[in-house]
Amino acid sequence: MNLEIIITEDGSSSIINKDINECYHSTSGAINESEHIYIENGLLACEKKEINTLEIGFGTGLNALLTQIICDKNKINNNYHSIENLQISTTKYLALNYCKQLNIKNDNFIKMHSSSWGEKITISKYFSLLKINIDLQTFHPTIKYDLIYFDAFSPKKQPELWTYDIFKKLYNNLNKNGVLVTYCAKGAFKRILKKVGFEVFSLKGPIGKREITQAIKR
């Protein structure tokens, strides 16, 4: 595994997986991208005060950190599950500059990364985290979710994850009015979402990206 830390255009760090030459975030800005896609068009679009969230790809932990901050601020109880099949090392997560960029203490971020896989832990008053070390293809959810952050690598690099069967599985494990949000805006992908049963919205993307996709289970 060949992972390299980079600094994106908004000053926040990200990681490039050199084996597949794919960045964990937009090089136009990792924090900017994550806030726009997953917080503004995912978490806040959910309009609920009790949320079960599923993240596909824990990675740097940036989505989890930003979600915890907003949940605490807005008093949203979030039971956050995140699956990942490639964990980053302690050296790598300690080198990520998110807490510095956000001007916050790093204790919650460290707790998120150092917590055991498969063990639910309380991070703050409104946010608990369960990291699950599994491949999405063999993951079988045991609860229903209100919100899904689909943040795997791109369809070009991981076509096996962007299939009808995967999204049908996720759809079946979403509650009514549940929201799935992702950076991908490819036509073929949106057609799969529609076929599965989602109502699909193409929304304005963050800096450096024209569109993103939000899908709702009616």
Ligand X SMILES: C[S@@+](CC[C@H](N)C(=O)[O-])C[C@H]1O[C@@H](n2cnc3c(N)ncnc32)[C@H](O)[C@@H]1O
**Residues forming the site for ligand X (CB under 6 A):** 24, 57, 59-60, 62-63, 83-86, 135-137, 151-153, 158, 161
Strand, coil or helix: what is 62?
Answer: helix
Residue identified by tokens 């600094």 is 7
Q: Report in angstroms how near the CB of residue 23 gets to ligand X at its nearest.
A: 7
Q: Report in angstroms how near the CB of residue 135 gets to ligand X at its nearest.
A: 4
CA distance 130 to 81: 5
Strand, coil or helix: what is 164?
Answer: helix
C-beta of 90 vs 177, nearer to ligand X:
90
For residue 33, the tally of other CB atoms under 10 A from its CB is: 28
Q: Report in angstroms how near the CB of residue 218 gets to ligand X at its nearest.
A: 26
Quickly list H helices, 75-218: 90-94, 98-102, 107-114, 164-172, 187-196
Q: Report in angstroms how near the CB of residue 136 gets to ligand X at its nearest.
A: 4
C-beta of 49 vs 104, nearer to ligand X:
104
C-beta of 152 vs 174, nearer to ligand X:
152
Residues 213/204, Cβ–Cβ less than 8 Å:
no
Instruction: Write down how long the chain is.
Output: 218
Q: Report in angstroms how near the CB of residue 176 gets to ligand X at its nearest.
A: 26
CA distance 16 to 154: 13
C-beta of 51 vs 62, nearer to ligand X:
62
C-beta of 52 vs 53, nearer to ligand X:
53
CA distance 128 to 112: 9
Residues 31/10, Cβ–Cβ less than 8 Å:
yes
Q: Report in angstroms how near the CB of residue 6 gets to ligand X at its nearest.
A: 12
C-beta of 29 vs 59, nearer to ligand X:
59
